[in-house]
Structure 1
Amino acid sequence: GGNQFSGTNYVGFTLNESWQADNFTQGMRDLGLTSNQGITNIHDVNPAIGGPILQDRLWYFTSARAISVDELFAGAFQPTLRTDVSPEVIQDYFKRGARITCEDPNTSTGCVGNHEAIAGAERAVAEQHVRSVLARLTAQVSQRNKVSAYLDRIFKWKKREFSATREPIQAAGFRDPGQANYHTFQAKWTSTISSRALLEVGYSQVYERLLIASQTEEALREVFPANIPLPNLRAETPGNLRTCIATPCYWDAGYMQTGDWYRNAVIGDLGTGLQTNNYWGDIWITPSDRFYPNAAFSYVTGSHNFKVGMQWSFGNDGDTRNRLGHINMRPYNGLPQPCDPDPMMPCEDRHGVDALNYPTSWNTTVRADRGIYVQDTWTLDRLTINAGLRWDHFESLINTFRTGDLPGGRFINARSAPEIPATPYWDDITPRLSVTYDLFGDARTALKFSANKFMRPYASGHAERYSPYREVGDRRDWFDCVLKPSIHQTGGVGNPRGDCATAADLMGLPASPEHYLSTNYDGIAQDHEIGLLGNSTVFRPGGVAVPASRPADDLQREYNWEYNVGVQHELLPRVSLNIGWYRRVFGDIEARSNTLLQSCIYADARAGVPCGSWIPFAVNFDDPGGHVARLRALGQDITIPSGEFLAFDLDPAYRGLVNNLDVTSDINRNYYNGFEVSMNARLPNGGNIFGGWTASQHIQDTCGLIVDPNGVSIEDPIRGSDEGIRRGGRWCDQSSLGMPFRHDFKLFATYPLPYDFEVSGSIQAYSGGERELTWSVPSSYFPGGTRTRGATVQLFQPGTNFLPYWTQVDVSLRRLFRFNNIQASVQADLYNALNAAVQTDETESYGGAWGRPTRLLQGRILRTAFQLNW
């Protein structure tokens, strides 16, 4: 955007799967994978141009980008369906899934499946692209004042949104750019008040609308034979839908629950981790608007660099959701089957459904996420001090008035919500300090220290979790059999042998026993098959919506102190060494408490002695499925503490009682300790080499997570993962477990060669992630073989089981061409040049799929790129 017209165009691509090497190993096949992860296409085109509109006064810059990345996921196949089988057989495949194997998965030759619906298969491709356009104007309003503004509009399309754990046809999501709107806008005014003073005032806005829905009929017809009717994955909610809050409910014979809306509900298998039958449902995000005004004033003198400023974010978020059946079907290692008549034979009892408070819609507002800061960099001879102070203010609220009333659903009445007071808002002062000292006064050795406090960033999600309209799931038993009506009085026993009804149990109901028994094991969850209510706070009679949780009046905002001590030394001219120690301490950590239950501290519990609202019992993990032995036989080093440990059942008197309160724990703490040694060298002729070694240790104390003494699933605040990890319970205090340091190494280098060539490369060695193994305890392990609710426990002691270390080598070769005012380059990048093969994530639930990789390191892949600058 200067006084001279200039432009650039970048084109990068990987043409097809032949540009990628196969790193699928026998070890991966032994773990249950049938194909590896890969890329079939990468195209990235990014032209840009800029220049003057009015010389010295007004300039423009505009660019466009089109990028597509088509992915292959491990074990994901698109089947060729047989034309000589019934529609019921086809639908049975999409409900249950199948194991598809190929003689050569890369070419999809010799593919067969273990289901009669499959005639063949090919690798399923996740096709997606992003298109964007950007325009920017910059104006020199006066000698001291400049104004700029830009608008960026993004269009995103995903034909089938799936993964290694999501069936790629019926269970895939669909994103239509015509029903999505992403754009960002930004404007900035810069004023040079004097040679020492600078004023900056800006404003930006992010606008988002998004719909992710089930697959269209057009996309399904690409897979389904012409003679097979398509499943209605977007079936309308039945007009005669009846509400059953306290399941099971026994309706008259005229009310059928076998139509598409019930039949095509999503299935998420708890044992295999596989999602089948349908997408999670319509997820309509609207509105999602965020506004960011900001301003800063800087003043520079000889020894001071002073700055004061304000950052402010506010906006609205909305979310509307619906789903077929208003449930998540949650079988365990396949759909429920009839129990063996022999009572000594095991019978799977961990099947369930999540009853949902659908349809639902909620709106929240971040009224203020604001920071006002003042900082100064002060140079005193060899000492440089950078000190600052920041006032953080956060306030959000729930807009029930904006949503209005919600209609009733399958498990909840039509409802309205009273005006909700603002959720806790916080005012916090956060200091920032860093000090650098030139040890010998020769600018070769610097000692460094810093201590900075940061508040946990929040957005609308903070208020969202307290909305009475927010999505809530209630896990209930489901054995795909009609349940005994008497469980409403007795509470049932939590297993199919004791809870499934016979004809004699069903006398005197609105329909005949044969009517209810006819739906047994049909793969559909009818109201008379769904177990007892587990959350009587949200799923309640009446028409007033109640939130699933609420914040304590004194709930504090989580914070993080970061400390660093280091030394930087120039070993040789253009060669520097850095040594540093880092520590992060997280405090005021939230914990959830159910105030209607009496808590039980794991360390104080004894088997058979009631502990608060819980009944502890001793259990011994004896590898009932032989899956630990299977992985050990494959050479995996698996460490599980031997002997009995405690698991906990809920006292039946407390069934369904929920009043969740979020409090600030005075126990929970998270720590990070890290050591780093790095070196940076500028080589002759413009080369550069950088490398470093890091040792890191994570320690968590989560003994304040007492809502369930078996442990709870939480986000990992240290790793920044949004995937749940099991904490609390048996292994709550990691400070006593001797958590190990994990080691990573990186080396990067670039060097110019004769004839305008340039070579670069990197070596990265990573420690594998920590493994988790969760076990849903079968009811046969509970006292008397009966349970009130399930118990899921962590079997691995933290810090003892990890995925393997892995190393990735990348190389790149670039050639420059110069023609007068035009510069062009041709580049070839080779990622994972040694074609390393390693799993980076896996299924973590004990069962037949435990240990199966869900994410792999991509095989060696070539990408070429061309760039033109003029």
Structure 2
Amino acid sequence: MSFAVELASSVVGVHPESGSYAGANIIRGDCPRPRRSEADRPVPALASLLPLRTVGPSIVSVSPERRVRRKHSRNGGGIVQCVRKISYAWILLAGLALWPASAAAQSAIGGQVTDNTGGILPGVTVEASSPELIEGSRIAVTDGQGRYSIVNLRPGLYSLTFSLAGFGTVVQEAYDLPSEFTAELDIQLSVGALEETVTVSGAAPTVDVQQAARVQVLSREVLDNVINTGSPWTQAMMVPGVSMAGVDVGGSRYVNDLQLEARGANAKHTTVMQEGMALDLLALEGVPVMYNQDLATQEMAVQAGGGGGNAEMQAGGVVMNIIPKEGGNTFSGQGYVGHTAGGWISNNYSDRLRQAGTTEAAEFNKLFDYSGSIGGPIIQDKLWFHESVRYWGAWTPEPGWLFDDRSQFFNEEDIISSVTRFTFQANPNNKFSATLDRLNKRRGPYIDLPHEARYRGQWQAAPESALIQSAFLLDDQRGPDPETARNYQNKGQGWHHAPYWQGQAKWTSTISSRLLFEAGYGSSGVADCCSDPQPNTVFPRWSDNWLQFVHKRDLDRNIQFDSVEDFTWNLPGERVMTNISYVTGSHNFKTGFSYAWGTAEQHRFNNGDISRINIRDGRAYEVLAGNYPFIRLNSVKETGWFVQDAWTVDRVTITGGLRADWLNGSVPPQRVPDGRFAKGRDFAEVTCVPCWGPEWSPRIGVAWDVFGDARTALKFSTGKYLTPTTTALPNRVNPMALTTFALPWSDPNGDSIVQDHELDFNRLPPNFGTRRLDDIDPNLVREWNIETSVSVERELTRNVSLSVGWYRRSFHDILFTDRGYEGMFIYNQNWEAPGSFRAVEVVNPLNGEVFNVYDLASADLAGQVDNLVTNPIGHTGVYNGIEIALNARLPGGGQLISSLTTQRKITSECDNRGDPNGDRFCDRTDMSRYNVSLPGGMQVAYDGVDFKNDFKLGGYFPLPGGAQFSLVLNSVTGRLTGDIQRVDELLPVNWVINRNTVYTADGGSTGRSPTCQGATINGAPCMPGMPVIPDMVQSSITVPVAPAGTIHQLPRTNMVNFSFQRIFNAAGVEFRPQLEIYNVTNTDVWYAEASTNYTSGVWAQPSRYVLGRMLRLSTQLSW
């Protein structure tokens, strides 16, 4: 029977064996620019990258929740009941007509059943039973090819029963199925009049021969035994190909939103899901903000790339799917207590850091992590619950931030979270689940001082000199003054004020043994976040204190004091989805729809409606007037639809998918009241920013079981993926933006109060408070990329697998904002200055070469900024990488995960129409023309970007006497933290030229200031004291003096962590005291630098470095 007939038969309840929306790219077409036509746009061959799967399941260690539950027989051992013929037809038709965005998060078991002569057996009943299934079991029937497939299975231990009249029954016991894995289990039934039952045992194979994607499963066993900080970022770092945008020692930076990236795709491409439903903050450009609670997780499946033909996901970066704990028919729980005191961290301030000019950080104070969970039945086999809580905190020093009594300022950061989940089996065919994750992230300290104590005697002024001084600011003070100018985040608001939330509800309906329906709703966001001034530092409008205690900044010492801006975000997002699956033994067909929407709301206020007062040489000289109060709204709606089918023919499984996406951004109507410097403003709604769609993304994956024994798989995948974006474009055309304007002010009467009569309001530009909108190219298209992968995976021996893969990703139609000027034509790539610029010869301070720097040709152009959001021809990126991964389950119960990745990403960032200086060294795809002469006479022919090698090793190893040792080693290329937009790790080497930059005789105090070196420039000999750019129009110009990565790179990060633990068991309780040691080698690697300006005194100077060796005493408890 054909697949189409089978599908139609299932809709009406007949057993198969018996019987446009076209959104226009119209955004802002009022400022046309000469752009390339669609015919000129390069269309590369379809290519894609995708992983394989290597972790094998366990038959040794079982979670407490799996340990004591037993399978339950329902309805004769199955869950399939008679279904009315028409009852669900409308659901399937609606699902086919609708569209997608959730990915299925579950595993599957499939294979072929034959008799002992090799003949195929249709009609065999296959029942999968497990304590992980609240309904007890699932049933499938082999098709005309003798194949079966049971989908939507939770990870866990399974018992599979194969039965057919006239044949002996086979029972496969203790089959351990990990998440995101399609296990191949072929069975032979023997003809026998007695129909005897044969029972076999064994683990699932370690090679997935049906999925082209490689998925690394981090089981509860791995999360409990391998040393990690309990954060999803450090846990995902075990996965081959995955990198983290930062370095985290012992969880000290858990609160810092470290992000994941892989295979050339930055954090914007990351997808975080819970049981297949996305958890990203829709209104925050799709970048996931996750503080996943470790003890609420049963397993975590991580992919370093797209889905191998799977069309359910829009993006193709890191995919993290969290499988939550559900409880069970028996009460069980876990706990973790860990603590690090300040004296338990070694000092790693080295000679290398000292010679680089780095200031020694103050002693770390403390770090703690307390977690607990409990789950069990409310009604046996009917209603389960699981609850987990976590309280995490760290007090870390900020160098140079001092209280008035000279004590060190510590960032007091903590996270309190609670995750509640209910699972309800309404009847054998319908399951409902709901999860609510509430989290309060707080940063302090919260300094609740009375106003008089906070400001008493704080400011003294001499009227005759207009000198602003502080009676309490210290000579070595740097950064914000903690008492008056340090934000805190939601501190003191109480547990009931939980700014972060993630909630979802899901309905799963087994319509028949072949038809599955899923529907879900999700909500996530941030409320009333994220930076509040300290109490008694913000005052009622127009009060004396509101006028007096305005934010101030000493630019010479980088000191901030007297209040800060009150900044609030509200970022709600909602999502609905439906999926319908039709599964036979040979086909796994699926289609689905999703719709998501959200509005980003931002509020900003400041005392005096002033951004800050600037101070130089102890004197106030200007006020930055702001268009406060500030209220901004941006909205987005996103729709997706997909269809896909996995078709198995003999030993080959082909997965083909097609996805369509629509994106609609808008700016809601806005009303802002009168401010001190800006009048009230009313803004009408702005629509269609953008109106994109349908954006079609075809994908295909092929997996070949080479020898038919489920031990060797050859895999290929390719597909198109979109770069997620939400409110970025609406924000570009939102007329409401925070703008400031510098007004001269010198406090003429010496009272430290900015009074209206002391300011010249006539200097404010017309319509101050309403910005000039960016132009959006009418031909703008959505950024996309192609992934391609070819890999082979082999089970070397039982429980040991090796995979080798090549991965490629190419980026196209990259979005870029060109900062141009009115009337400017597009800058060409021949390195010739267009009419809007003049070329000025300068002497490179690095090596004495003479080259052109481009300054605006006329001062009239300086105020005519004309930004254009476009897809520059010269912006491209190509990633290539090879990954070798080894996964092994060791004798005695240990496990090992190891990988070696060699990779590089080559980018071209040319075609900068608004800044010709940005095109210097812009094309890394052709580096042969960039020959850089370095100091000392050494020539560097920079002919390409080097491949970078990352090595990872993690695992745990049982020792005699109930002891256990765990090790994690990461050796990765150094990179600046927080730069989630770049993944090539190449540091720029720039020269910042301003109107006061002159040639020196000897290189100045740093030895890197520009010198003439006997050069002739602009037709005359260069002389010390000459301005580098005579009659400079622009206030500053940044130009590269060498290709990125040639003369300066961050040191390699080699991080080693290990732990020792002793396991005790008594009365059904497992108790594990342990010693955890992070940064065992006490490395001094840094992750932030003070400046990329080569002539600066702090160029390449480390500004933040990792914590030293950290000891933690902890205890795990499970029952």
TM-score for the superposition, normalised by structure 2: 0.58
For 2:956, give the aligned amino acid: T
What is the rounded CA distance, in whole Å, between the counterparts of 1:729 and 1:330 in structure 2? 36
Distance 1:553 1:432, change over 3 A: same
* Mapped pair 1:419 → 2:419: no
What is the rounded CA distance, in whole Å, between the counterparts of 2:596 and 2:893 in structure 1? 43
What is the rounded CA distance, in whole Å, between the counterparts of 2:758 and 2:668 in structure 1? 36
Q: Residue 827 of structure 1 corresponds to which residue in structure 2?
A: 1074
Secondary structure at the aligned position of 1:686 is classed as coil
Q: Residue 360 of structure 1 corresponds to which residue in structure 2?
A: 630
What is the rounded CA distance, in whole Å, between the counterparts of 1:150 and 1:444 in structure 2? 38
Q: Residue 749 of structure 1 corresponds to which residue in structure 2?
A: 955
* Mapped pair 1:137 → 2:422: yes
What is the rounded CA distance, in whole Å, between the counterparts of 1:762 and 1:137 in structure 2? 35
Aligned positions of 1:162-201 closer than 5 A: 168-177=482-491, 178=493, 181-201=499-519
Secondary structure at the aligned position of 2:946 is classed as coil
Aligned positions of 1:162-311 closer than 5 A: 168-177=482-491, 178=493, 181-213=499-531, 215-217=533-535, 233-235=537-539, 238=542, 261=547, 264-265=550-551, 267=553, 274=558, 276-277=560-561, 281-286=565-570, 288-311=571-594
* Mapped pair 1:151 → 2:465: no
Contact 1:63-1:133 at 8 Å conserved across structures: yes
What is the rounded CA distance, in whole Å, between the counterparts of 2:1111 and 2:769 in structure 1? 59
* Mapped pair 1:677 → 2:884: yes
What is the rounded CA distance, in whole Å, between the counterparts of 1:9 and 1:761 in structure 2? 22
Q: Residue 732 of structure 1 corresponds to which residue in structure 2?
A: 922
What is the rounded CA distance, in whole Å, between the counterparts of 1:354 and 1:559 in structure 2? 40
- Identical positions, percent: 28
For 2:419, give the aligned amino acid: L
1:60 to 379, 385, 404: 385
How far 1:200 sits from its partner (Å)? 1.2
For 2:660, give the aligned amino acid: W
Distance 1:418 1:540, change over 3 A: farther
Contact 2:484-2:534 at 8 Å conserved across structures: no
Distance 1:647 1:434, change over 3 A: same
Secondary structure at the aligned position of 2:354 is classed as helix
For 1:415, give the aligned amino acid: R
* Mapped pair 1:373 → 2:622: no
How far 1:867 sits from its partner (Å)? 2.3
What is the rounded CA distance, in whole Å, between the counterparts of 2:338 and 2:600 in structure 1? 37
Q: Please list the CA deviations of residues 387-436 of structure 1 after superposition, one character each: whole Å capped at 9, or x if unmatched.
A: 21111111121112xx32342443x4432223322212211011122212
How far 1:599 sits from its partner (Å)? 4.2
What is the rounded CA distance, in whole Å, between the counterparts of 1:355 and 1:676 in structure 2? 54
How far 1:51 sits from its partner (Å)? 2.4
* Mapped pair 1:767 → 2:992: no
Contact 2:548-2:753 at 8 Å conserved across structures: no
Contact 1:650-1:788 at 8 Å conserved across structures: no
For 1:78, give the aligned amino acid: L
Between 781-790 and 133-142, report the one with greater CA deviation: 781-790
What is the rounded CA distance, in whole Å, between the counterparts of 2:428 and 2:731 in structure 1? 47
For 1:370, give the aligned amino acid: T
For 1:677, give the aligned amino acid: I
2:1091 to 841, 844, 851: 844
Q: Say how many residue pairs are matched.
A: 699
For 1:429, give the aligned amino acid: W
For 1:865, give the aligned amino acid: S
Contact 1:766-1:806 at 8 Å conserved across structures: yes
Question: How large is the Cα RMSD of the aligned pairs?
Answer: 3.5
Question: Which protein shows a greater Rg?
Answer: 2
How far 1:379 sits from its partner (Å)? 1.8
What is the rounded CA distance, in whole Å, between the counterparts of 1:674 and 1:79 in structure 2? 49
1:758 to 954, 961, 964: 964
For 1:830, give the aligned amino acid: I
Q: Please list the CA deviations of residues 318-340 of structure 1 after superposition, one character each: whole Å capped at 9, or x if unmatched.
A: 00112346565697xx83689xx
Point out where structure 1 has 5 or more consecutive residues left out of the alignment.
Answer: 82-120, 219-232, 241-258, 339-350, 483-514, 534-538, 623-638, 711-727
What is the rounded CA distance, in whole Å, between the counterparts of 1:525 and 1:838 in structure 2? 49
TM-score for the superposition, normalised by structure 1: 0.73
Contact 2:332-2:1118 at 8 Å conserved across structures: yes
Q: Residue 697 of structure 1 corresponds to which residue in structure 2?
A: 904
Contact 1:164-1:855 at 8 Å conserved across structures: no
2:723 to 445, 452, 456: 456
Q: Residue 703 of structure 2 corresponds to which residue in structure 1?
A: 436
Q: Please list the CA deviations of residues 785-842 of structure 1 after superposition, one character each: whole Å capped at 9, or x if unmatched.
A: 5434321233341231211112111111222222232222222211111111111221
For 1:467, give the aligned amino acid: N
Q: Residue 817 of structure 1 corresponds to which residue in structure 2?
A: 1064
Q: Residue 630 of structure 1 corresponds to which residue in structure 2?
A: none
Q: Residue 723 of structure 1 corresponds to which residue in structure 2?
A: none
Secondary structure at the aligned position of 2:681 is classed as coil
How far 1:603 sits from its partner (Å)? 5.2
What is the rounded CA distance, in whole Å, between the counterparts of 2:714 and 2:543 in structure 1? 73
Higher relative contact order (CA 8 A, sep 6+): 2
How far 1:442 sits from its partner (Å)? 4.5
Point out where structure 2 has 5 or more consecutive residues left out of the alignment.
Answer: 1-325, 448-476, 928-943, 976-985, 997-1026
Q: Residue 806 of structure 2 corresponds to which residue in structure 1?
A: 581
Q: Residue 824 of structure 2 corresponds to which residue in structure 1?
A: 598
For 1:174, give the aligned amino acid: Y
What is the rounded CA distance, in whole Å, between the counterparts of 1:748 and 1:263 in structure 2? 53
Contact 1:672-1:698 at 8 Å conserved across structures: yes
Aligned positions of 1:480-629 closer than 5 A: 540-542=765-767, 545=770, 547-593=772-818, 594=820, 596-599=822-825, 601=827, 604=830, 611-622=834-845
Q: Residue 118 of structure 1 corresponds to which residue in structure 2?
A: none
Q: Please list the CA deviations of residues 89-115 of structure 1 after superposition, one character each: whole Å capped at 9, or x if unmatched.
A: xxxxxxxxxxxxxxxxxxxxxxxxxxx
Aligned positions of 1:280-359 closer than 5 A: 281-286=565-570, 288-324=571-607, 335=616, 356-359=626-629
Between 159-168 and 585-594, report the one with greater CA deviation: 159-168
How far 1:129 sits from its partner (Å)? 1.6
What is the rounded CA distance, in whole Å, between the counterparts of 1:209 and 1:147 in structure 2? 27
Q: Residue 1012 of structure 2 corresponds to which residue in structure 1?
A: none
Between 572-581 and 424-433, report the one with greater CA deviation: 572-581
Contact 1:310-1:373 at 8 Å conserved across structures: yes
What is the rounded CA distance, in whole Å, between the counterparts of 2:666 and 2:1060 in structure 1? 53
How far 1:559 sits from its partner (Å)? 0.8
Q: Residue 634 of structure 1 corresponds to which residue in structure 2?
A: none
Secondary structure at the aligned position of 1:653 is classed as helix
Q: Residue 228 of structure 1 corresponds to which residue in structure 2?
A: none
What is the rounded CA distance, in whole Å, between the counterparts of 2:1052 and 2:1076 in structure 1? 24
Contact 1:37-1:856 at 8 Å conserved across structures: no
How far 1:151 sits from its partner (Å)? 2.3
Distance 1:783 1:796, change over 3 A: closer
